[in-house]
Amino acid sequence: MERAKPQKIKRENKGEIPGVPLTLDGWNILHQMFRIRRPAWNALSSAEREAAVEEGRRVLDDMERGTQGQSALFSILGHKGDLMVLHFRRTLEDLNGAELRLANLRLSEYLEETTSYLSVLELGLYQATEGLYAELKAKGVGPGTPEWVQAVEVSLAEQRKAQAPRLWPNVPPRRHVCFYPMGRKRGESKNWYLVPMKERQRMLHDHGMIGRRYAGKITQIISGSMGFDDWEWGVDLFADDPLEFKKIVYEMRFDEASAVYALFGPFYVGLRFDAASLGELFDGKTPSFTPA
């Protein structure tokens, strides 16, 4: 069997258009997954359980209604945990504050954090990047020059203004969530980061066209996590019908960007619930959710 040939590393020449697409960044995002320590919780008296739940309700209801970033609660299905808390915040300091606020609850004594994921809501600008860089090159403006840097900053500022609703959304008010981290292959024969930007743009465009067919059924939030966590992106899918998760992920597996270059981490599927229903989760019942 013939061994696959490794991709050649193309050295960047001075003055060549960079192959790194620009991005816009929005909310800082933290996913926290917990397992309820049932034996310790069940050993408490009814009065102790009610007091702990009532304190948790008050704090989580306030975090749920935050005007500078929301938190949302999900009951996880399967062995990976019982509770996922999703936080959207402006800064890492704000995220840390939300994390510590939970840690200071009496309920935290009965929650074991099984994992977490840190990322930043990200919008990729492949098409806009290619157009801007080509325009600058045509004007004789070289990469890294003051004129280049200024033009990039002006373009990003315009894009941030235009894309503000997508950078700073509320947590979508849908009953089901599917979260998973992912990355791109950097192997000997297949390396996403050695593919020319125009080719990556084409593949992602085709990939995105599949997602568009699920508009109205699924709300998707992509977050970048390079330098923040173990994978490269986090993907949150929100839907009223959970079968849509299976359909879109399955269909996208046949897409070139996924079939050839994608790597996937563990999947977490959960049911959104209101802070007011926190006691139901700890009582072993399916907690309820009323979209605002």
Shortest CA distance to 59 belongs to which of 264, 241, 278, 206? 278
DSSP 275: G
pLDDT at 258 over 60: yes
**What would the mean pLDDT of 77-91 be, rounded to a whole number?**
97
**Residue that wins the pLDDT comparison between 9 and 233:** 233
How deeply is 172 buried, as exposed, middle or buried, from its count of CB atoms within 10 A (0-12, 13-18, 19+)? middle
pLDDT, tens digit (0-9, with 9 covering 90-100), for 137-150: 899 999 989 999 99
pLDDT, tens digit (0-9, with 9 covering 90-100), for 169-210: 999 999 999 999 999 999 888 999 999 999 999 999 999 999
Taken in order 236, 239, 244, 248, is the CA torsion positive or negative?
negative
Q: Which two tokens stand for residue 268?
A: 């977490």
Q: Which two tokens stand for residue 60?
A: 């989580």
Query: Residue 3: its pLDDT value, please?
Result: 52
Q: Which domains does the chain have, with CATH numbers?
A: 26-121 (3.30.70.1030)
List strand residue ranges (DSSP E) for 100-246, in order.
Answer: 111-124, 176-184, 218-224, 233-239
Beta bridge partners of 116: 32
CA distance 132 to 147: 13
CA distance 15 to 104: 53
pLDDT at 66 over 70: yes
Give catalytic residues, as residue numbers: 180
212 in helix, strand or coil? helix
**What would the mean pLDDT of 227-251 be, rounded to a whole number?**
98
> How does the average pLDDT of the chain come out, rounded?
93
Q: Which of 16-30, 164-178, 262-276 shows the lowest mean pLDDT across its residues?
A: 16-30
Answer whether 269's CB lies under 8 Å from 242's CB.
yes
pLDDT tier for residue 14 given thresholds of 50, 70 and 90: very low
pLDDT tier for residue 6 given thresholds of 50, 70 and 90: low
Query: Residue 291: its pLDDT value, please?
Result: 87
pLDDT, tens digit (0-9, with 9 covering 90-100), for 148-164: 999 999 999 999 999 99
Query: Residue 19: its pLDDT value, please?
Result: 85
pLDDT at 15 over 90: no
Query: Residue 5: its pLDDT value, please?
Result: 55
pLDDT tier for residue 18 given thresholds of 50, 70 and 90: confident
Query: Residue 28: its pLDDT value, please?
Result: 98
